Amino acid sequence: LRSLVLGISRPGNYFLQLNICKTRQFIAGAKTPSYSYVVIGAGSAGCVLANRLTEDAQESVCLLEAGPKDKWLGSSRLSWKIHMPAALTYNLCDDKYNWFYHTLPQAQMDNRVLYWPRGRVWGGSSSLNAMVYIRGHAEDYNRWQREGAEGWDYEHCLPYFRKAQCHELGENRYRGGSGPLHVSRGKTNHPLHKAFIEAGQQAGYPFTDDMNGYQQEGVGWMDMTVYKGKRWSSASAYLRPALGRPNLKTEVHCMTTKILFDGKRAVGVEYVKNGEKKRVFADKEVILSGGAINSPQLLMLSGVGNADELKDLGIPVIQHLPGVGNNLQDHLELYVQQQCTQPITLYKAQKPFHMIKIGLEWLTLFTGNQIHLANVFIHPDVFTVLSHYNYAKL
């Protein structure tokens, strides 16, 4: 039997070992497909898993995604809301590729409801985000190691960062030069960016040439997951290069509703597509990569979580694991807006005429105005970004 760890809430707190069974005798006579691995969620992690696991021709993978593909008819231009960097905000305002989550009223925040966009498309949130490529500070990973996460210190993580990356400036000790994830330097000649960097230096922060290199503290230019004028998501980097492999099966518009167990052994999943309930089984592992919200939700729907809460909802308990669905933390993003003393922001670019002009240039040449950000990074808890957009006008 193989085993898989699912649903870790805090390092060292709780874990669930789900043994994967190769037999499915508990569903007698069921004619259902079976794969070595079933991966739930074709997001930032799921795309990587689909690629790496199918490198072994002896293994088979079924990748289930609740949303659509990231390209319509295989075209980036027809799916410009995803692939045009300047179209960043479009997908943040509708639910076509976005789960469009909103929190419950937060008592500590004057009962405000917070908007929480998450990707529901091939590439997941890497198909929606601001394309900033920024690693955690080295000390963050070293702290994980000290707190018990063996093998997660910066020295052990760095080779994997480099392996994944193909930086336009080439390979060095901290950058990769031949990986699938294209990364470019988001440097511009915009006067606001230059003024911001100069102000940071005047305030005493050193200039750093590489925010992901030796000196991570300071002010400098951000790296971006943009390649030849297009967003370079996890789907672009990992999933699409693997689509031609005969041992990879992908399904879209599939809402996974339940993990199937034989006792306490996970053997497959149940999902709904086009209103029809279906099942698929795994000979080795069921892997949840649905994100910080959907993965614990699926565990709880399947009977893995706080037993008292599950019983109240009428869900049969498979494993009492109170950490599932708790202890979630996310970084808060606060906007401080300042009126510019000169007409040099990009507010003009948000006017309909200019938006059409920018869009046409990108559709024909994959060039034109893009999202460019300057950055001040101070370890461990402050991350400051300059944007020359007025988001209140979007």
The CATH number assigned to the domain holding 56 equals 3.50.50.60
CA distance 273 to 66: 9
Q: Can you give the pLDDT at residue 342? A: 76
Q: How many CB atoms lie within 10 A of CB 194?
A: 12
Q: Can you give the pLDDT at residue 256? A: 98
What is the DSSP secondary structure assignment for residue 104, as one 8-state letter?
P
Residue 304: pLDDT band by 50, 70, 90 thresholds?
Answer: very high
Percent of the chain scored above 70 by pLDDT? 79
Q: How far is CA 302 from the centre of its chain?
A: 23
Pair 324, 229 in one domain: yes
Q: Can you give the pLDDT at residue 17? A: 37
Q: Can you give the pLDDT at residue 319? A: 97
Close Cβ partners of 248 (under 8 Å, ≥ 6 residues apart): 50, 54, 60, 61, 63, 242
User: Do residues 276 and 293 lie in contact, with contact meaning Cβ atoms separated by under 8 Å?
Assistant: no
* Range 240-253 average pLDDT: 98
User: Do residues 85 and 367 lie in contact, with contact meaning Cβ atoms separated by under 8 Å?
Assistant: no
User: Do residues 239 and 149 lie in contact, with contact meaning Cβ atoms separated by under 8 Å?
Assistant: no
Pair 100, 14 in one domain: yes
Close Cβ partners of 212 (under 8 Å, ≥ 6 residues apart): 133, 134, 135, 161, 174, 175, 223
CA distance 207 to 221: 9
Pair 378, 364 in one domain: yes
Of 289, 308, 330, the position where a domain reaches its end is: 330
Evaluate if residue 26 carries a pLDDT over 60. no
CA distance 98 to 80: 15
Residue 15: pLDDT band by 50, 70, 90 thresholds?
Answer: very low
Of 313, 330, 347, the position where a domain reaches its end is: 330
Q: Can you give the pLDDT at residue 255? A: 98
Pair 363, 219 in one domain: yes
Evaluate if residue 28 carries a pLDDT over 70. no
Which of 7-11, 49-53, 107-111, 208-212 has the highest mean predicted lDDT (pLDDT)? 49-53
Domain count across the chain:
2
CA distance 21 to 108: 45
Residue among 13, 38, 16 nearest 267 (CA)? 38
Evaluate if residue 50 carries a pLDDT over 60. yes
Sign of the torsion angle spanned by Cα atoms 24, 27, 28, 31: negative
Pair 34, 180 in one domain: no
pLDDT per residue as tens digits for the range 379-391? 445 666 666 555 5
Q: Can you give the pLDDT at residue 74? A: 81
What is the DSSP secondary structure assignment for residue 31, as one 8-state letter?
-
User: Do residues 368 and 329 lie in contact, with contact meaning Cβ atoms separated by under 8 Å?
Assistant: no
Q: Can you give the pLDDT at residue 357? A: 56
Residue among 133, 64, 120, 68 nearest 92 (CA)? 120
Q: Can you give the pLDDT at residue 129? A: 92
Percent of the chain scored above 90 by pLDDT? 58
Average pLDDT over the chain, rounded to an integer: 84
Pair 282, 270 in one domain: yes
Answer whether the bond into residue 159 is a cis peptide, omega within 30°.
no
Query: Which residues span the domain enclosing 31?
Result: 1-131+225-330
Pair 203, 146 in one domain: yes
Q: Can you give the pLDDT at residue 361? A: 57
User: Do residues 83 and 91 lie in contact, with contact meaning Cβ atoms separated by under 8 Å?
Assistant: no
Evaluate if residue 180 carries a pLDDT over 70. yes
Evaluate if residue 356 carries a pLDDT over 80. no
Of 310, 330, 350, the position where a domain reaches its end is: 330
Q: Can you give the pLDDT at residue 218? A: 87
Pair 186, 161 in one domain: yes
Pair 295, 158 in one domain: no
Pair 30, 150 in one domain: no
Pair 65, 90 in one domain: yes
Pair 164, 234 in one domain: no
* Range 59-63 average pLDDT: 99
Helix, strand or coil, per DSSP, at residue 18:
strand
Evaluate if residue 66 carries a pLDDT over 50. yes
